[in-house]
Homo-oligomer: A and B are copies of this chain.
Amino acid sequence: MDNKVALGVDIGGTNTVYGLIDAKGAIYQQGEIPTNSTQPVDHLVSRLYESTTKYLAKNGALEMIGIGIGAPNANHKTGMIDSPPNLDWESFDIRAAFGDYFNQKTFVTNDANAAALGEKNYGIAKDMDDFVEITLGTGLGSGVFSGGALVYGYSGFAGEVGHVSIDPNGRKCKCGKRGCLESYASATGVKNTILEFLEDDPQDLLLNQLNSGNINGAIIDSEYDKGNKTARKIYQYTGQKLGIGLAQVAAILSPEAFIFYGGFSNAGTRLLKYAKISMEEQLLECQKNTIRLLPSGLPQGKAGILGAASLVWEY
């Protein structure tokens, strides 16, 4: 047993997941608390401090040696969170906020990069040097590995695959551009697709059911499995758009695999088989049949804290 642990923190819009994790990825303490971003960040930090300090006091053999944080719009290079979507905080130095309070060496990255790190260190990408982790949720995030290392880019903002445009006349994205992959292949994108489909087919039962509440991937999945044609049409359309975006990314990076994580990725092959067909159509001849589309090898909700904690071990 390794007695050194890192605190991995995955900050989400609603909840924050955290865990004390050793270098091999064994999780000693795991918890989930409301993020409460209407309060100053110290409110979150102090609650995490209390919880982990209590646990460590009871488990005297364990020693915390650092903190890794994954959060939306967090920048590895600067330690800042920049006006995160779905959080009420403005831009601030989240690395200092945690590091000073805990008096621990602290590392920061964005949530999709944390998932990619988790996949590389503890998931199905262990033996891959070149892959792209795609997180499908409300939006589409991504973390890129190239030559065995995470790609941060000069500004620290690399890996914005969700904002690769697949159509200059396409849907208006919240970023201001048109045709961003995220505006098709994400829960938000599927919501837009359902609204568009409803214009052509206002009586469709499934479309009306889906439109009446939050987009529920589980309902689409179960209708798809029963042979519902509308469910199939939704995944066909979404997968086709996703494939076009993946081929764009592949032209630049030529990865071994695109790996899908996050709530909306539970669709699995229902979505990915259409994405694969579409991607292969768009790939350069020399890249055809070299790239796999795979579901994540990590349990839902754990990639973030595992990856965030691994920032400490990598250091």
Contacts and interface: CB of A to CB of B under 8 A. Distances in A.
- The DSSP consensus for interface residues of chain A is loop
Nearest to A167: B168
Interface string A153-168: 1111111110111111
B284 A153 contact: no
Contact of A248 (B146, B152, B164): B164
Contacts of A252: 144, 158-161, 164, 249, 252-253
A82 interface: yes
Interface in A164-212: 164-168, 175-177
B282 A177 contact: yes
A163 B284 contact: yes
A49 to B, nearest CB: 30
B154 A255 contact: yes
A287 interface: yes
A175 B285 contact: yes
A273 B264 CA distance: 41
Contact of A161 (B161, B251, B286): B251
B253 A284 contact: no
Chain multiplicity (copies)? 2
A158 B286 contact: no
Contacts of A175: 284-285
Nearest to A292: B154
A141 to B, nearest CB: 12
A299 interface: no
Contacts of A165: 248, 282
Contact of A154 (B73, B166, B244, B290): B290
Given A251-B163, A253-B252, A155 B285 contact: no
Contacts of A253: 151, 153, 158, 252
